[in-house]
Structure 1
């Protein structure tokens, strides 16, 4: 069993998401230029990966390939070596083709859900067939995959796809806590999500809402390979104080990692740890 601080931790900046709006925090980026600028500043602050959704200029979630391409091209112009992860979640109203719009930007990796769930007051559907289609299309263009797991059943489903050879190794998995309808944000929940994982899995922790920093701290002490922060996940940087930017959230988690004795991975180290080669 590896020591909890054996490897540097990979920080992902989730800069905009699909659900958070400027009513939640006026600093949420909407346009491709805003998303790219916020991503570049987050990378400078210590992130190695940026997780992208696309938005129309009014903030509406979008699957338009041209928006993803514009944002990705802008990010790569300023940060050519950064890892870019595009969402295939989009929104519950999108078709599967719309959810896959980000693949047109040739990202380094993309997310894939391995099950459906209640999401707040709605239901987000990813059927087994849809999950397999996302995996197939991403793999065909040599885009790496990251499983987005919102409850223990999603972890088990990912392991089954891995055993069946549908999901290519290595397993990269983002364990998401605190989404209404998903697993809660608690120490017991973290233990439950980690229990099925193989030793060599690259696992990242995301926590939505008020327990964000506490659960990320717990994950760091458990040896998390990665943690995620950003305005997609949390609107406040401290109690009652809105986060001024994505990079401010990244800097806070960089400081938290240092306090807990974890080094922060460079982009090169992140590529090695996640086993993702150059483009």
Structure 2
């Protein structure tokens, strides 16, 4: 790990998600305009990537392509070189086709789950055939892929798909910790998730819940390629203090990275590091 701080770290802002609601934090954006404006403020605060879900105006998770397009068009108008990364996870109430709605908006990147899991009291199903279909559609239209890995088996599956030539190499993987039903948020869990990754993997860390700050700090010190924050992942900016906005969370993460000796990537450098023109 001698080179842990030699490359800038890419910051992602996860704007709204599908599970956190205004009952958890009243500042969660719902409408396309709110999501786009929050994305732009987060980019101004230091994020290079806006990770996007969309919702109906009442906060219901949605896969409608026109909502994704409205958000992405607005983000590109305000920050033309920033990166958009749409979810194909959606919510467990959506069909696989609905979950792929964001691809029609031609984002820079999209997530793909390489396995199923228990998610709280629900079961989130992504059959292997569905993952391959998402990968094929994204690759055909030139959208870069990021594997969303909630446990070690998801990484093992992703590595296998890369070896088979299904997933383009080098891998981009978002390691997700703290989701009930997924791997726990601990230093030992990070070691377990890193072990199967090829050396050239671009890996980002996400942590849901109260260990958010601790896991981000640990990842920064371990040489993470990217770190992610936002109201999708965490409702609080400090103990007992609700986060006022996504950009406030980004500002705090940028400060943490610099304190720990990591330079934060500009948008142009992020594109180079991730391999997206």
Question: What's the TM-score bracket when you normalise by the shorter of the two chains?
Answer: over 0.9
Partners of 2:157 and 2:25 lie apart in 1 by 34
Q: How does 1:86-97 map to 2 (within 5 A)?
A: 86-97=86-97
What is residue 121 of structure 2 aligned with on the other side? 121
Matched pairs, number: 277
Note the C-alpha offset of 1:2: 5.5
Instruction: Determine whether 1:44 maps to 2:51.
Output: no
> After the TM superposition, which residues 207-222 of structure 1 pair with which residues of structure 2 at under 5 Å, given as runs?
207-222=207-222
Name the residue aligned to 1:260: 260
User: TM-score w.r.t. structure 1 length?
Assistant: 0.99
Mapping for residues 16-31 of structure 1, pairs under 5 Å: 16-31=16-31
Structure 2 distance, partners of 1:184, 1:135, is 27
Partner Cα separation in structure 1 for residue 224 and residue 238 of structure 2: 23
SS of the equivalent of 2:206 reads: strand
How far apart, in 2, do the equivalents of 1:28 and 1:205 lie? 21
Secondary structure (helix, strand or coil) at the match of 2:111 reads: strand
Structure 1 gap ranges (5+): none
Does structure 1 residue 62 correspond to structure 2 residue 58? no
**Stretches of structure 2 lacking an aligned partner (at least 5 in a row):** none
Residue 230 of structure 1 corresponds to 230
Residue 33 of structure 1 aligns with which residue? 33
For 2:170 and 2:58, how far apart are their aligned partners in 1?
38
| Partner of residue 241, structure 2 | 241
For residue 9 of structure 2, what is the aligned residue in structure 1? Answer: 9
* Counterpart in the other structure of 1:75: 75
**Displaced runs of 4+ in structure 1, greater than 3 A?**
none
Q: State the TM-score, normalized to the length of structure 2.
A: 0.99
The residue correspondences of 1:184-223 to structure 2 (distance < 5 A) are: 184-223=184-223
Q: Cα RMSD (Å) of the superposition?
A: 0.6
Query: Hey, what's the Cα distance between the residues in 2 that align with 1:196 and 1:64?
Result: 35
| 1:272 aligned residue | 272
Structure 1 position 96, deviation (Å):
1.0
Partner of 1:170: 170
